Structure 1
């Protein structure tokens, strides 16, 4: 389970964008995203969480917007519960 407050922005195909804004998200991620136990450092963990949130929240587990690029910046809070 991931709980975060961070700035998310999007770039989609054909150059369309959604201005980045702060969002509060609580999302369960599949087990393959639980890399903390595998010794991931903080930067690596943020990248993994960003990818997982992009897949589950914004790409709906790859069922839509396959080419959507998700930006995960200005992380105010990031809590991971294993």
Structure 2
């Protein structure tokens, strides 16, 4: 059922050169909720600098993690930049 996805938490970022001191990450919960709400088909979102509304670590491949509530249950998602997630499935 469309409209039953609520983002609880989402983060997008990378470690520059794999260095523990090179963290470039940002909270993207609002950006993800907006992307889900505007998605077609509903719930399917490609995770990239455009949908996440910025690049927290330029020049490095980003990773993404989120908790999205679906049907009253928290669902956990993760992927690499450029991949597409259907938040209506899995998690």
Q: Same fold (TM over 0.5)?
A: no
TM-score (norm 1): 0.37
- Higher RCO, Cα 8 Å, sep 6+: 1
TM-score, scaled to structure 2: 0.35
